[in-house]
Structure 1
Amino acid sequence: MVKLADGIRVVDADAHMTERHDLFTERAPKGYEDRVPHVERIDGVDMWIVEGKAFGKAGSGGTVDHHGKKHPFRDSQGGSWGINDVHPAAWDPKERLRLMDELGIHTQVLYPNAIGIGGQNLRNSVQDPIVLRLCVELYNDAMAEVQAESGNRLLPMPIMPAWDIQACVQEAERCAALGYRGVNMTADPQDSGSPDLGDPAWDPFWEVCAGNQLPVHFHIGASQTALSYFGTTYWPSQDDYVKPAIGGASLFQNNSRVLLNSAYSGMFDRHPDLKMVSVESGIGWVPFMLEAMDYELEENAPEYFHKLQKRPSEYFASNWYATFWFEKGRGDLQHLVDTVGEDNIMFETDFPHPTCLHPDPLGMVGETIASLRPETQRKVMGGNAVKLYRV
């Protein structure tokens, strides 16, 4: 096995935790047990039910079985698997920690599954504003317990009530008090009736996030708009096993629009300490986009270009991070990392999703990572995340 540089404490900046069936009901106030998300068996299939309506299958949330073997998406997560078919580390925090020890991973940043990676499935399924806000708080309370009980080795990202800016401000403040190290935000709050993120109406939220050292995370597929990339980019004639590959790859490029819009919006001039993370989108597209965002704005809106305090591309270095896992930089990862910026990159595994590095994440990337300078290895494999998440 290829040996990495000494002193690396590996931080996995993107993994997922399948929601346990009793996650909401065990914390629900009396009288709300049947109104918050819970699981009922319908026609032989476990389904998530909220307010009397199904909003999705209570599936596995992963493709790794109990023996650590990965299966095609169509046969597992996207097929018939339920929570009992997936590796228990997908939903059990104690099993997750045990597996992390086995794999040599110290800390993991976690994102949801069934409720929508940005929490959007709740907004789409619940009409009562009291129940909707309760669902957000119950989920975030449960994940705060996971973090605390893990000794901050598991760092879930809490979901935000994106349909209500003031509620986001309040929930971010509450989550900071609970010890969270960031927030999980949808890229498209306009899907749920709020202004888009470039609107100055969001400034109070950015102020709270920056002031409490809560980086704002944009995971691919964290909105209905973003998910349209997954379901519409493949040609209908493609094989059913090929379609998820096309959809998944298309989602990566979708995050570039969040970087573009945020840099052009002026939000970082107003909130220079605000940090954002592009999650599960890779880094190979970043150098081209940094060039394109400068060129396009200066060509099309020169007056606005000169109103910004920095060149658009410079906001990536000062305010953004990106995660990567399988990329090799066309044989020269060090050049790619240097072009993107070694202080702005974090490693991820995406466990237990279809593209995760399993069953041996460090072994799978060991040779590629070993090609990096020792100091670069320390930063991208853990050091940057240790600093960002205060671990």
Structure 2
Amino acid sequence: MERELPRIISVDDHVIEPAHLFESWLPAKCRDRGPKPFTAGIGELRYIGGRYRFTTDPAGQITDWWEYEGEIFPYKRIIAAVGFSREEMTLEGITREEMRPGCWDPAERLKDMDLNHVEASLCFPTFPRFCGQTFAEAKDKKVALACVRAYNDWMVEEWCGDSGGRLIPLCLIPLWDVDLAVAEIRRNAARGVRAVTFSEIPTYLGLPSIHCGYWDPFFAVCEETGTVVNMHIGSSSQMPAASPDAPPAVQATLSFNNAMASMTDFLFSGVLVRFPRLKLAYSEGQMGWIPYALERADDVWEEHRAWGGVRDLIPEPPSAYYYRQIYCCFFRDRHGIDSIDVVGRDNATFETDYPHVDSTFPHTRQLALDHVQGLDDATVHKLMRGNAIRMLGLDLG
């Protein structure tokens, strides 16, 4: 008899924003300067400064786009890949009509979750980018702030509103102003939001470091409200690569490096010492790398703290703060499962990455069963849903 698997709570999925989002949710006075959807052929692809840049071309593949402050952003097949074969998951443009409707329609998303053995899902943005970099880079910060709030209102009231708690709101902050960020956390926490997205390495975005104290009010309000700080790989707008002309496969293989660098930064920052109830979550970083990263961090703390700048800053071994306050997540990571006692049976969560090219849809249940076959029922429950429930404070069993 095949083993029963608890219904999954996925802590890393994605949403394709509907074309009406900003027209419906931005204040009327901002709409003419806010993001606007359009459809056009896609042209030349260039990779500049860690980002793909596109041009339009009347003869190119018909694609749905956003235009905002003169910049254009196309939707591509790799970010709406469910329903396509592996050979079809390319950087070609795509329209919402060509996408599986669950990419952008919440009712259809719930149907796909049912097909995929998923009870609840936390979704990262697409057009705003993983932590709202699109608005942080905007010139008109008043409109950008209105866009952040409009996105959050849409996320809470429309995307998640009729889902009965199955779609879990994940909100943005105005990254360019910590006081505005604190206010936005409070505004959303007051309506039950318990998750915010943040950059894994804010200095890569030209923002202050986590070491300098600038972000302490943000961390304090997240601790106070029980808001989890979620950091997705690529939320620094850079992906690691060994060489500037390496193929994208190198970046895809090394993507966990950003999570590893970010986690090490936090472990030695003192942030987790000052805010002992703050919760951090690393999204799509997998977990097989964590045992050695913790071993090395503890070794540095033990052997090198006199000159390493952390003797008086970090009173306990860094791994103690990881086990107390940090969550990882996985979907294909057998090495991480083999090391689950060191990764932490209380620290690991699961994801499906719907609808991205890495998504396990519609085979998530079988893939999860293959991974957990050697684990006891209590651990399987923790990995599939229990740890996510505790992390996010969900009203689920």
TM-score (norm 2): 0.88
The aligned amino acid for 1:366 is L
- Which residue is 1:316 aligned to? 322
CA distance in 1, matches of 2:22, 2:90: 22
Q: Larger deviation: 353-362 or 376-385?
A: 353-362
- Which residue is 1:10 aligned to? 8
Q: Larger deviation: 180-189 or 54-63?
A: 54-63
The aligned amino acid for 1:313 is S
Cα gap change, 1:205 to 1:235, in 2 (>3 Å): closer
User: 1:135-174, aligned counterparts within 5 Å?
Assistant: 135-145=147-157, 146-174=159-187
Offset of residue 360 of structure 1: 1.2
- Which residue is 1:263 aligned to? 267
CA distance in 1, matches of 2:262, 2:341: 22
CA distance in 2, matches of 1:254, 1:20: 29
- Which residue is 2:374 aligned to? 371
- Which residue is 2:217 aligned to? 204
CA distance in 1, matches of 2:234, 2:257: 11
CA distance in 2, matches of 1:193, 1:279: 22
CA contact (8 A) 1:104 1:362 kept: yes
The aligned amino acid for 2:86 is H
CA contact (8 A) 1:14 1:349 kept: yes
CA contact (8 A) 1:182 1:389 kept: yes
Q: Does 1:273 align with 2:277?
A: yes
Cα gap change, 1:24 to 1:76, in 2 (>3 Å): farther
CA distance in 1, matches of 2:2, 2:39: 47
CA distance in 1, matches of 2:73, 2:35: 10
- Which residue is 1:113 aligned to? 126
User: 1:211-226, aligned counterparts within 5 Å?
Assistant: 211-224=224-237
Identical aligned residues as a percent: 30
SS in structure 2 at match of 1:302: coil
Offset of residue 108 of structure 1: 0.6
- Which residue is 2:296 aligned to? 292
CA distance in 1, matches of 2:2, 2:345: 21
CA contact (8 A) 2:182 2:221 kept: yes
Q: Does 1:337 align with 2:340?
A: yes
The aligned amino acid for 2:143 is V
CA contact (8 A) 1:36 1:135 kept: yes
The aligned amino acid for 2:141 is P
- Which residue is 2:359 aligned to? 356
Cα gap change, 1:54 to 1:201, in 2 (>3 Å): closer
Offset of residue 94 of structure 1: 0.5
Instruction: Write out per-residue CA displacement over residues 7-26 of structure 1, whole angstroms, 9 at most, x where no aligned residue.
Output: x2321111100111111111
The aligned amino acid for 1:254 is N
SS in structure 2 at match of 1:148: coil
Instruction: Write out per-residue CA displacement over residues 304-348 of structure 1, whole angstroms, 9 at most, x where no aligned residue.
Output: 444222111211101100000011128xx2x41111110000011
Cα gap change, 1:22 to 1:234, in 2 (>3 Å): farther
Q: Larger deviation: 360-369 or 281-290?
A: 360-369
The aligned amino acid for 1:14 is D
CA distance in 2, matches of 1:9, 1:46: 34
CA contact (8 A) 1:147 1:153 kept: yes
Instruction: Write out per-residue CA displacement over residues 195-234 of structure 1, whole angstroms, 9 at most, x where no aligned residue.
Output: 212222221111110111111011100122xx242xx446
Cα gap change, 1:134 to 1:191, in 2 (>3 Å): farther
Offset of residue 378 of structure 1: 0.5
Instruction: Write out per-residue CA displacement over residues 238-291 of structure 1, whole angstroms, 9 at most, x where no aligned residue.
Output: 6xxxx3332122111211111111111111111100000011000100000001
SS in structure 2 at match of 1:282: coil
CA distance in 2, matches of 1:329, 1:27: 44
Cα gap change, 1:56 to 1:69, in 2 (>3 Å): closer
The aligned amino acid for 2:233 is I
CA distance in 2, matches of 1:54, 1:92: 25
The aligned amino acid for 1:4 is E
Match of 1:387 among 387, 390, 396: 390
Q: Does 1:36 align with 2:51?
A: no
The aligned amino acid for 1:94 is A
Q: Larger deviation: 77-86 or 162-171?
A: 77-86
CA contact (8 A) 1:162 1:168 kept: yes
Cα gap change, 1:234 to 1:192, in 2 (>3 Å): closer
CA contact (8 A) 2:18 2:104 kept: yes
Residue correspondences, number: 371
- Which residue is 2:46 aligned to? none
- Which residue is 1:23 aligned to? 21
TM-score (norm 1): 0.89
CA distance in 2, matches of 1:313, 1:256: 13
SS in structure 2 at match of 1:199: coil
Q: Larger deviation: 296-305 or 174-183?
A: 296-305
- Which residue is 1:247 aligned to? 251
CA distance in 2, matches of 1:302, 1:55: 50
Offset of residue 374 of structure 1: 0.9
